[in-house]
């Protein structure tokens, strides 16, 4: 109390009216305060004018000349930061003095000296604030070594005038003239700041001024390059300052300052973002989590949802407890205001309980707001950190599980579904951190609220409790609805993503067949199902929002109604306290729908992840691995029975007995579907074992029948994790005949391979696969028909150099259909119906006249038929020689020219990364344009619903303010004052206003979610249409992970988040304007504070957004590699396991996961960094508004209305508005990314009405190719160079050439997958470039190099357009030798086909592709790529 009294005494001295005691008669005019303040004000007015003129000149020059900007790299000698702080401090100090003087003279009357002093202080505030802005915006972005001359001159004048004023103060003090204390304090501050500014202005020296002269002359551009290098490696080498930040830095989140400052100077890249601390990195966190989970459930197959939740809680228990403490502090601090409002109203009404009560109340209000702000910011940041860690460890666990799944489990869960678990479900569980504490926090808030209500309203608080319980009970049915709809949405989305993933993988075959629009309609149907559940979900959400937004009003109506019935008197102070309490209760009640929804979504996601983790793994005990060199036998299988489907009564492999010694070559042959690939799988341990033993001695390498190539460089694919040994590497390239291919490629072995090797021919992919195996230098090699994708010459070279050469001392087991490779084998295994029917050397089993002889006989018969066909066509070819002579000559010239160019190395080289087919993902930079927002809000119904949403929100705010204003005005201040209206009128009007506001919210919610749903549907349809109509070059250059990311994550944001974010911004903005209106109506002076505070908040937001925007974009860009790597791992898991490379791939996944978490972590920290500072601004504004109110003389304003202003001031949250704006801009990036894909250049039209060919076209099938030149992209070299030839109709024409010579490219040009750069192709007199793509492709057929089957049925694979009868389909199946196999299946034509046709052998898939061609025989030109 003494401290308060002494401060009161000090204030009275500070503002004592001593102006009259200055004896002007004895003192010169130059010593008068009015002159001194006028001089100071004039000096600052001059400064303001100069700065304004300077700004205008800069703007004028900027409009004419845009020169390069060079920033100060080092200004240590100029004390730039200190100068900025000094100027800002003087501005703030002047503002505080200005406000204090204003309060004093407002209460005690004005004088000339007072007005002049106030004007001087106001000019000081503006002038020094302008200097701050000038220094920050102009000087720090220039390369000047000194401060501007005029500024330094002005600082000199400022110091002189300040010294003069201080000298006058000293003289008057010695003459015992009483002078106001604020004069002396102001003059001392001015002198100190003037000395500092003059020192830095006249004596400060830029330390970087001569550094360039001191650098070595040879480092001509060293500074720039070194800076770039250090900037690039900074984030990679630096651990986030969060891990070592001090108390104050942690408290204010200042450790993020350097990154945000860097984002203002340059566009942030991933290299600029620091590494996570070891405990937050998934590398450090995942082992801890895995140990916790294994302690709970032993193995993953025994995990349950409850055990997973327990493991997650124990994993992050420290942060959870710490955030729980923050939540408790925040909750208690937030109720201090409502608790004290009644006291404040009574204080304003003149009922003072003790001296200086006003100052104490203001201080308590202010401190509680500060504590609330700090607790909330750290609560949010820590929970986001927990969310990032949880998401990372769950995604890693899903990845690890995906690598060990058994074949049967993988068939039940496609790659699209598994990717969804990682991208959506793990993400959602991580986001649940935001809502983790809400359930118990609601209970605490309700309990505290009831205590406050009981203090103010007595037993009426029971009615509030009952109403609140009713609201809570309404959660149960709502939660069930939310959970059901969310579950259905996720199921539908899984199916859609699964189909999308499969379609993207096989887009080439869809375009070749002209089926892409049919499959687009399939995606559209799946989306319709998803959209049906989404529509139910968003409307349920709208109703939930309406119910809960009306809940606080319902509680207040019930409480005040109970007061009226019980006869409890209502006073404005108690009413305002209750209203403030209800407004705080609004937050958990508003958030309750989201919490309920999030709990439902999280439970669904947890259940989905648990069901995946419980799937059956591979049998790791299938193979008994012997120590290397411990046995002469490399492979031994004794009485082996194996089956892909353990529930089937017919095993895949039966009675397998095999013994292979070290150094043996074993050939495996047999008809299609006989079990050859399954035999290799059983040696690899991939197929489940029913009985028997498998022993393996030594390391193994595997070459799959369908090549598996990773995205990345060719060199990385060959090395496959091994160190580079140049001699061995060159030897392998030579053996695999890859050197010539690498010479042709612009970047050699540094060429980037597209997804699934999209920019390589089938033969090149196969040879890279073989090279990868050879480089491993393993003991056992397993080759699954490796020579089928290469020409005969290359195949012979590979067999001779690889199997007979480099691998002569190794165990080699090779599956082959080529009889010429069999005699070299030490042992030949003949397979039939899953059994080894014969085993022995070539001559031995050839003479046994059994299955093997049939195979060899069939091979010889096919060759003889070919020979006879060739002989029969000799006369025809002789007669036609005249017609095709030109072709032979021209083609020969071209061939020679191409060979010569290749030999001389004269290929079209493209310098730089632009020559690579795979480019970095496109990332917008800078501010999200207004056009993106406009397109989003105007997309649905041309924006007609936007005014409806805004009008409903404005009406809601007006009615809310009106109802609260009514209660504050109509209720008496105390019991001894007569009420203005009766109790029934009071409650009746309040209820009417409450119902009106609730209806507004209902309209707003329905209209907002309707517009959001319609916009999401339009964006989805536009993006998918553009993707499906994109040329094949787009899919070659774009990894499917990028497209899936937009179709999954970004589309989810558009479906669920963005409508809410846009609505929240409109609500927050309108609410802020409402609060400002209420507070300004009570005391207009608060606008004096609002204007600079809002300006500061906007500056902070502008300062923060460049970094936040780029961090958010980096999150999107860094997510695609995680998805892509996961998808590649799932598809190549057999190859990865066969090379024992699981640990390396897990490490890559950990690095990619951390690379995704880094920008996410810093983006979360940056949000809280901004919000902390904005909350401080809001608290300062609230503090000054309270100070204004306690200084307003009694009787000037109604205490009830003043209390209403305080009630609204408690909810003043400029940070919320800015934060919602930032969140909206961050989320709108998803719209920006989707819009990128709505502007993809399209293929030519599918049909051109004026150029449609006859139904019978092509009648003959004659193809004329004239000077054809083709390249895959404008920046890529020519692949076909001036090809001219004619293919006569009805002829079987073979296209031969070395691997990579352009055979596949010619076929693609015929189908217009790639458009000719020069030249034309004419089929039966029609230039194919002039007709529609579907008219062309539907008349041609193709058997692709890589056999493709889609998930579905045999019928849908053969006839996806439903154009043929069952009889025609059976006829085609019989012709391609598949009829009997399909008839054996239970479903016949409706027999299931799993993803990628995994439940059918590669040979059977190839026959299905043949069946498609046979079905189109009546109107097609069959083309067959060997």
Contact 583, 1211 (CB under 8 A): yes
Residue partners of 1316: CB distance under 8 A and separation at least 6: 1268, 1269, 1270, 1309, 1329
DSSP assigned state of 666: E
Four-point Cα dihedral 2, 3, 8, 12, nearest 10: 100
- Angstrom distance (rounded) from CA 31 to CA 34: 9
Average pLDDT of the residues in 452-470: 82
- DSSP assignment string, 52-67: HHHHHHHHHHHHH--P
Tell me: the pLDDT tens digits for 655-701? 888 898 988 999 998 887 788 888 888 888 888 888 889 999 988 89
Confidence of residue 104 (pLDDT cuts 50, 70, 90): low
Confidence of residue 326 (pLDDT cuts 50, 70, 90): very high
User: Is residue 806 scored above 60 in pLDDT?
Assistant: yes
Res 408: pLDDT: 76
Which has more pLDDT, 1248 or 475?
1248
Q: E strands along 562-688, which residues?
A: 623-626, 633-642, 653-661, 665-670
Tell me: the pLDDT tens digits for 1337-1361? 877 877 776 677 877 788 888 887 7
R_g (Cα) of the chain, nearest Å: 40
- Angstrom distance (rounded) from CA 633 to CA 629: 9
- Angstrom distance (rounded) from CA 1067 to CA 1070: 5
- Angstrom distance (rounded) from CA 1139 to CA 983: 84
Tell me: the pLDDT tens digits for 1109-1153? 888 878 878 887 888 888 888 888 888 888 888 888 999 999 999
Listed residue (1141, 418, 474) closest to 778, CA to CA: 1141
Q: Which of 295-299, 755-759, 830-834, 879-883 has the highest mean pLDDT?
A: 830-834
Res 1025: pLDDT: 92
Least confident of 65-69, 901-905, 1383-1387: 901-905
Res 375: pLDDT: 92
Which has more pLDDT, 1205 or 273?
273
Tell me: the pLDDT tens digits for 847-898? 765 666 666 655 555 445 444 444 444 344 334 333 333 333 333 333 333 3
User: Is residue 903 scored above 70 in pLDDT?
Assistant: no
Res 781: pLDDT: 92
Which has more pLDDT, 61 or 778?
778
Confidence of residue 74 (pLDDT cuts 50, 70, 90): very low
Q: Would you tell me how many other CB atoms lie within 10 Å of the CB of residue 701?
A: 25
User: Is residue 906 scored above 50 in pLDDT?
Assistant: no
User: Is residue 457 scored above 70 in pLDDT?
Assistant: yes
Which has more pLDDT, 588 or 543?
543
Least confident of 56-60, 234-238, 1081-1085, 1373-1377: 234-238
- Angstrom distance (rounded) from CA 223 to CA 1238: 42
Q: Give SS3 for 1297.
A: coil
- Angstrom distance (rounded) from CA 596 to CA 476: 9
- Angstrom distance (rounded) from CA 365 to CA 543: 36
- Angstrom distance (rounded) from CA 1166 to CA 1147: 29
Res 6: pLDDT: 41
Tell me: the pLDDT tens digits for 486-509? 888 888 888 888 888 888 888 888
User: Is residue 592 scored above 60 in pLDDT?
Assistant: yes
User: Is residue 800 scored above 70 in pLDDT?
Assistant: yes
On average, the pLDDT of the chain sits at 77
Res 325: pLDDT: 92
Least confident of 31-40, 566-575, 1053-1062: 31-40
Task: Write the burial class of residue 577 (CB in 10 Å: 0-12 exposed, 13-18 middle, 19+ buried).
Answer: buried
Least confident of 27-31, 318-322, 458-462: 27-31
- Angstrom distance (rounded) from CA 804 to CA 799: 6
Task: Write the burial class of residue 612 (CB in 10 Å: 0-12 exposed, 13-18 middle, 19+ buried).
Answer: buried
- Angstrom distance (rounded) from CA 546 to CA 998: 7
Please tell me the total number of residues recorded for the chain in this structure.
1426
pTM of the predicted model as reported, rounded to 2 decimal places: 0.68
Listed residue (1425, 1131, 1426) closest to 512, CA to CA: 1425
Least confident of 145-159, 331-345, 1041-1055: 145-159
What percent of the chain has pLDDT above 90? 3
Confidence of residue 1196 (pLDDT cuts 50, 70, 90): low
Identify the helix (H) or strand (E) that includes residue 702: strand 700-703
Which has more pLDDT, 624 or 858?
624
Task: Write the burial class of residue 460 (CB in 10 Å: 0-12 exposed, 13-18 middle, 19+ buried).
Answer: buried
**What would the two tokens of residue 924 be?**
């917008």
Taking the mean position of all CA atoms in its chain, how far away is CA 715?
Answer: 30
User: Is residue 207 scored above 50 in pLDDT?
Assistant: no
Average pLDDT of the residues in 387-410: 86
Which has more pLDDT, 545 or 452?
452
Res 204: pLDDT: 62
User: Is residue 162 scored above 60 in pLDDT?
Assistant: yes
User: Is residue 5 scored above 50 in pLDDT?
Assistant: no
Res 538: pLDDT: 85
User: Is residue 15 scored above 60 in pLDDT?
Assistant: no
Average pLDDT of the residues in 399-410: 83
Contact 481, 540 (CB under 8 A): yes
Beta partners for residue 1318, in sequence order: 1269
Task: Write the burial class of residue 1143 (CB in 10 Å: 0-12 exposed, 13-18 middle, 19+ buried).
Answer: exposed
């Amino acid at each position: 109390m003494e401290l308060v009294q002494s401060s009161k005494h000090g204030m009275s001295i500070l503002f004592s009216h001593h102006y009259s005691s200055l004896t002007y008669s004895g003192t010169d005019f130059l010593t008068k305060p009015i002159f001194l303040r006028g001089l100071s004000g004039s000096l600052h007015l001059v400064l303001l004018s100069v700065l304004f003129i300077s700004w205008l000149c800069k703007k004028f020059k900027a409009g004419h000349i845009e020169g390069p900007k060079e920033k100060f790299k080092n200004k240590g000698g100029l004390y730039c930061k200190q100068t900025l702080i000094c100027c800002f401090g003087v501005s703030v100090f002047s503002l505080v003095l200005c406000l204090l003087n204003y309060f004093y003279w407002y209460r005690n009357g004005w004088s000339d000296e007072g007005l002049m002093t106030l004007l001087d202080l106001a000019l000081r505030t503006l002038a020094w604030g302008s200097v701050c802005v000038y220094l920050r915006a102009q000087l720090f972005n220039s390369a000047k070594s000194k401060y501007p001359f005029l500024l330094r001159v002005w600082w000199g004048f400022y110091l002189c005038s300040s010294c003069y004023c201080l000298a006058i103060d000293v003289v008057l003090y010695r003459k015992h003239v009483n002078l106001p204390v604020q004069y002396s304090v102001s003059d001392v501050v001015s002198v100190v700041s003037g000395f500092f500014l003059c020192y830095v202005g006249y004596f400060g020296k830029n330390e970087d001024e001569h550094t360039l002269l001191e650098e070595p002359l040879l480092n001509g551009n060293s500074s720039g390059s070194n800076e770039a290098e250090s900037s690039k490696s900074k984030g990679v080498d630096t651990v986030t300052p969060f891990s070592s930040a001090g108390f104050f830095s942690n408290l204010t989140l200042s450790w993020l300052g350097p990154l945000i400052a860097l984002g203002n100077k340059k566009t942030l890249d991933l290299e600029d973002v620091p590494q996570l601390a070891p405990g937050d990195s998934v590398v450090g966190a995942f082992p801890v989590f895995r140990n916790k989970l294994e302690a709970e459930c032993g193995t993953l197959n025994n995990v349950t949802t409850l055990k997973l939740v327990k493991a997650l809680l124990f994993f992050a228990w420290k942060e959870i407890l710490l955030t729980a403490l923050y939540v408790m502090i925040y909750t208690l601090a937030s109720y201090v205001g409502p608790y004290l409002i009644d006291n404040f109203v009574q204080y304003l009404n003149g009922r003072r309980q003790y001296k200086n009560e006003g100052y104490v109340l203001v201080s308590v209000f202010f401190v509680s707001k500060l504590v609330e702000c700090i607790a909330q910011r750290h609560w949010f940041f820590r929970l986001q950190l927990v969310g990032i860690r949880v998401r990372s460890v769950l995604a890693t666990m899903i990845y690890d599980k995906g690598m060990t799944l058994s074949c049967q489990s993988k068939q039940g869960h496609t790659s699209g579904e598994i990717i969804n678990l990682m991208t959506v479900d793990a993400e959602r569980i991580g986001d649940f951190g935001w809502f983790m504490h809400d359930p118990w926090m609601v209970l605490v808030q309700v309990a505290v609220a009831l205590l406050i209500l009981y203090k103010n309203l007595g037993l009426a608080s029971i009615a509030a409790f009952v109403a609140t319980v009713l609201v809570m009970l309404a959660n149960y049915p709502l939660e069930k609805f939310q959970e059901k709809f969310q579950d259905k949405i996720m199921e539908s989305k899984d199916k859609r993503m699964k189909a999308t993933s499969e379609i993207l993988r096989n887009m080439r075959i869809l375009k070749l067949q002209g089926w892409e629009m049919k499959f687009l309609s399939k995606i559209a149907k799946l989306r319709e199902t998803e959209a049906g559940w989404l529509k139910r979900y968003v409307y349920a959400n709208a109703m939930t929002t309406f119910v809960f937004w009306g809940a606080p009003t319902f509680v207040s109506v019930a409480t005040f109604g109970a007061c009226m019935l019980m006869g409890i008197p209502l006073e404005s102070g108690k009413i305002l306290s209750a209203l403030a309490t209800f407004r705080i209760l609004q937050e958990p009640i508003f958030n309750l729908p989201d919490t309920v929804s999030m709990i439902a979504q999280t439970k669904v996601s947890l259940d989905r992840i648990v069901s995946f983790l419980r799937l059956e793994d591979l049998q790791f005990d299938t193979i008994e691995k012997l120590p290397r060199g411990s046995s002469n036998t490399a492979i031994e299988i004794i009485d082996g029975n194996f089956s892909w489907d353990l529930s089937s009564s017919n095993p895949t492999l039966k009675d397998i007995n095999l013994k292979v010694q070290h150094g043996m070559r074993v050939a495996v042959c047999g008809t299609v579907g006989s079990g050859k690939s399954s035999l290799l799988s059983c040696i690899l341990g991939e197929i489940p074992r029913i009985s028997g033993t498998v022993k393996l001695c030594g390391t193994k390498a595997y070459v799959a029948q369908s090549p598996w190539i990773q995205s990345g460089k060719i060199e990385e694919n060959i090395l496959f994790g091994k160190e580079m040994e140049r001699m061995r590497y060159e030897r392998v390239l030579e053996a695999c005949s890859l050197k010539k291919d690498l010479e042709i490629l612009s970047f050699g072995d540094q060429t980037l391979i597209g997804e699934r090797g999209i920019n390589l021919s089938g033969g090149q992919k196969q040879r890279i696969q073989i090279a990868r195996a050879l480089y491993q230098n393993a003991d056992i090699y397993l080759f699954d028909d490796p020579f089928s994708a290469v020409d005969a010459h290359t195949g012979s070279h590979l067999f001779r150099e690889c199997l007979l050469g480099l691998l002569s001392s190794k165990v080699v087991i090779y599956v082959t259909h080529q009889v010429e490779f069999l005699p070299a084998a030490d042992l030949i295994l003949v397979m039939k119906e899953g059994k080894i029917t014969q085993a022995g050397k070539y001559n031995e089993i050839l003479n046994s006249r059994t299955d093997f002889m049939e195979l060899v006989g069939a091979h010889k018969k096919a060759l003889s038929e070919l020979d006879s066909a060739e002989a029969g066509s000799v006369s025809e070819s002789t007669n036609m020689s005249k017609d095709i002579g030109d072709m032979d000559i021209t083609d020969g010239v071209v061939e020679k020219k191409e060979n010569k160019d290749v030999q001389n190395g004269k290929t079209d080289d493209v310098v730089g990364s632009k020559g690579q087919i795979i480019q970095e993902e496109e990332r917008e930079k800078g501010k999200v344009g207004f056009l993106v927002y406009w397109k989003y809000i105007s997309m649905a119904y041309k924006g007609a619903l936007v005014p409806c949403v805004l009008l409903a929100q404005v009406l809601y705010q007006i009615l809310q303010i009106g109802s609260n204003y009514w209660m504050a005005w109509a209720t008496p201040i105390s019991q001894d004052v007569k009420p203005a209206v009766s109790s029934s009128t009071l409650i009746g009007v309040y209820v009417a206003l409450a119902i009106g506001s609730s209806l507004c919210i209902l309209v707003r919610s329905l209209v907002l979610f309707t517009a959001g749903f319609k916009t999401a549907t339009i964006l989805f349809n536009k993006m998918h249409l553009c993707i499906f109509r994109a040329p094949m070059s787009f899919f070659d250059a774009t990894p499917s992970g990028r497209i899936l990311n937009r179709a999954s994550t970004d589309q989810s944001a558009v479906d669920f988040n963005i409508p809410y974010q846009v609505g929240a911004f409109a609500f927050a903005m309108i609410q802020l304007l409402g609060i400002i209106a209420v507070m300004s109506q009570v005391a207009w002076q608060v606008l004096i504070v609002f204007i600079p505070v809002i300006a500061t908040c906007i500056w902070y937001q502008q300062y923060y957004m460049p970094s936040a925007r780029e961090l958010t974009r980096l999150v999107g860009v860094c997510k695609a590699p995680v998805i892509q790597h996961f998808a590649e791992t799932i598809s190549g898991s057999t190859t990865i396991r066969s090379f024992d490379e699981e640990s390396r791939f897990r490490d890559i996944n950990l690095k990619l996961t951390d690379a995704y978490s880094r920008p996410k972590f810093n983006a979360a920290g940056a949000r809280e960094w901004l919000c902390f500072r904005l909350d401080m601004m809001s608290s300062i504004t609230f503090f000054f508004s309270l100070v204004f109110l306690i200084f307003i003389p009694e009787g000037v304003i109604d205490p009830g209305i003043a209390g209403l202003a305080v009630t609204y001031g408690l909810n003043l949250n400029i940070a919320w508005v800015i934060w919602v704006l930032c969140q909206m801009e961050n989320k709108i990036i998803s719209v920006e990314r989707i819009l990128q894909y709505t502007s993809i250049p399209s293929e030519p039209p599918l049909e051109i009405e004026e150029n449609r060919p006859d139904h019978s076209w092509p009648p003959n099938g004659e193809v004329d190719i004239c000077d054809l030149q083709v390249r895959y992209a404008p920046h890529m070299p020519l692949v076909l160079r001036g090809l001219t030839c004619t293919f006569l109709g009805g002829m079987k024409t073979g296209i031969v050439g070395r691997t990579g010579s352009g055979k596949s490219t010619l076929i693609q040009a015929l189908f217009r997958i790639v458009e000719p750069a020069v030249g034309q192709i004419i089929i039966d007199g029609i230039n194919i470039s002039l007709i529609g793509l579907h008219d062309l492709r539907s008349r041609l057929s193709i058997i692709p190099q890589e056999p493709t089957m889609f998930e579905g049925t045999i019928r849908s694979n053969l006839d996806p357009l439903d154009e043929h009868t069952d009889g025609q389909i059976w006829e085609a199946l019989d012709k391609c030798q598949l009829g009997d196999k399909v008839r054996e299946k239970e479903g016949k034509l409706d027999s299931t086909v799993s993803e990628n046709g995994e439940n059918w052998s590669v040979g059977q898939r190839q026959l299905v592709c043949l069946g498609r061609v046979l079905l189109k025989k009546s109107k097609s030109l069959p083309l067959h790529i060997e």
